[in-house]
Amino acid sequence: MAKTKSGGATDGSAPYSVSAIGIGRSGAGYVDGLLRTGEIEDVLMDSRARVAALVIDTGEDDLLRVKGYAAGLSQRLEEQGIPAEHFQFQSISLAESGGHLSRAEAKAMYAKASGDDQSGLEASLAAFVNHAEQSELPSRIMVCFNLAGGTGSGMAPDLTRHLAADILKKDIPVFGVGQLPHSGDGDVPASLYAGLSEIDGMTGGQSKDQNNPFTGGFFVVNTEHSWQRLTSYTETGVPAVRDRIRQEVTNKFAQDSFMRYAVRDSGLEMAHMLQAADESNRSGKWMYYNLAKFTHPGVQVLPGEALSKWRKVIEQWIDHLDDFSGLNKEFRTNHADVHMHAPREIGVDRLQDKLAQRLKDSFLTAEDSSIQIDHHEFFDHLTSYADILLPGLTSTDLVCFADAKGAYDKLSKAKQKQCN
C-alpha cells in the first residue's frame, strides 16, 4: 500500500531551513551540492529563513570549489534582492597536512583546534549555530563526511558531540550524512569499521547509556550502484585519467543528488522518511540512501536509439538494485521512499512497477510494508536514476561492516589505535 505523505515528526507542512557542516573532501562536496540547488534559493526567498554553511578541512585545495559556489550563491541572492544576512558561509583550514590523516590524527587535530582560539574553530562553530538558530522556520543541521576517510570520519563524531552538548541552545535536530566507499576505492579499509562502530555507539546501536548527538537521525549514503553504472562499458582513455574522472563524477553526483533530495519540496520529502524511521522502532534511527543510476550519457545506449532499448537498459539496472545495494541479503524493512527521475515518454508507469516489484522482492517485509514512489520529470533520455530511501538500517546490515572488521582485526594493536 502507499503511505500518505506528511510533514513528519517536526512541524507539519511548514518549510524548513537547512544548514550544513562539511568535514573533509566529501563533506565539502555535500555542502557545495547544497549551495548549488535551486531549491536553497527558493527557501531563502522566505524572509523567515536562515541558511548557514561551514566547511572544515586540513588544507585549502578541497575548499576552493565550495568557496566559489558560495560566492556565486551570494551574488545570485543579491541580484534577487534577498538580504545578505539570510545566508552565511564559512570555511576553515585547520592545517596544511600534506597528506592523508588517520582517524586518530584527525581527532587529535580537532581537539587541539577546539582548544586554540587562533584556529578560529570555536568562533566559527558558534557563528554557524547562531545563524541557524535565528531562523524563524524550523531548522535542520546536517554534518556531512566520508565514513571511510580519516579527516571526516575522525572529526565528525567529536564535532557533533561538541555541537549538541556545548553550542546548540535551541532544539534543532542534527543529522549525520555518512558516505560509504565504493568498490572503485579499493579494498574496504579498517578505518571504516572503526568509524561505523563509533557512530553505532553514539546513536545507541551498541550502547543505550550515551546521549545521541545525531538527534535527527543518521543517513548512510551508498554510491556503489552509481559507480557500477558509470564504469560499465567505459574502458577507453588513459586509465589514470579515466579512473580519476569516474571517481569525481560518482562522488559528486551522489552528493548533489542527496542534497537535492534533502531540500526538495522545502524539506517535506525528507520529513516523510523521518516519520518512517520513527515508526521503524530501530535504535539510532539510521536511514539508507541509495543513488541508483539506470542510464548514463554515452554508456551502453546512445541518444537517438529506440525507446525500447532505453527501457531495456533501465530495467536491466533496476534488476541490479540488490547486487549493488551494499546490504546483506537478510536485511528487510517495512517501507521505501523512492524518487524516480526519468523522462515521461520513456514509459514511467512500467518502470515504476518494475522498481516497486524489485524493492518488494529484495528489501521489504512480506507483510505490512509500503512503498511511496514519486516521479520527477527529467529533461532528456541521457540520464535516469532514483533516490531510494529505506528506514531501519543498522551497521551490521552493511556488507562492508564485516569486511572492514576483518581488515581491522588483521592490524597490529598500534595500527588499530590509528583507526580509533
Does the pLDDT at position 234 exceed 90? no
- Interaxial angle between packed helices 190-203 and 399-409, expressed in degrees from 0 to 180 and rounded to the nearest 10: 120
Query: Strands 384-393 and 335-342, how do they pair?
Result: antiparallel
Tell me the CA distances in angstroms from 244 to 238, 326, 334, 359, one per residue in order.
Answer: 10, 22, 38, 32
Least confident of 86-95, 113-122, 314-323: 113-122
**Is 236 within 8 Å of 195 (Cβ atoms)?**
no
The predicted pLDDT at position 210 comes to 60
For 331-390, the pLDDT digits (tens) are 999 999 999 998 888 888 888 999 999 999 999 998 888 999 999 887 666 788 999 999
Does the pLDDT at position 281 exceed 80? no
Sheet holding 370-377, edge to edge: 87-93, 51-57, 17-23, 139-146, 174-179, 217-222, 286-295, 384-393, 335-342, 370-377
Q: How many residues does the chain have?
A: 420
DSSP per-residue letters across 61-126: GGGHHHHHHHHHHHHHHHHTT--GGGEEEEEEE-----SPPPHHHHHHHHHHHHT-GGG-HHHHHH
Instruction: For residues 417 and 20, give the distance between their C-alpha atoms in angstroms, rounded to a whole number.
Output: 30
**Is 161 within 8 Å of 118 (Cβ atoms)?**
no
With bands split at pLDDT 50, 70 and 90, how would you rate the model's confidence at 5?
very low
Residue that wins the pLDDT comparison between 146 and 350 = 146
Instruction: For residues 208 and 202, give the distance between their C-alpha atoms in angstroms, rounded to a whole number.
Output: 9
With bands split at pLDDT 50, 70 and 90, how would you rate the model's confidence at 7?
very low
Q: Rounded to two decimals, what is the model's pTM? A: 0.93
**Is 117 within 8 Å of 126 (Cβ atoms)?**
no
Instruction: For residues 251 and 247, give the distance between their C-alpha atoms in angstroms, rounded to a whole number.
Output: 6
Average of per-residue pLDDT values in the chain: 89
Nearest to 201 by CA among 188, 211, 186: 211
How crowded is the C-beta side of 75, counted as CA atoms within 13 Å?
7
Domains along the chain? 15-420 (3.40.50.1440)
CB atoms within 10 A of CB 112: 13
β-partners of residue 92 are 56
The predicted pLDDT at position 381 comes to 66
**Is 204 within 8 Å of 210 (Cβ atoms)?**
yes
DSSP per-residue letters across 121-154: HHHHHHHHHHHHHT-SS-EEEEEEEETT-SHHHH
Alpha helix segments (H runs only) across 177-303: 190-203, 224-231, 239-263, 268-280
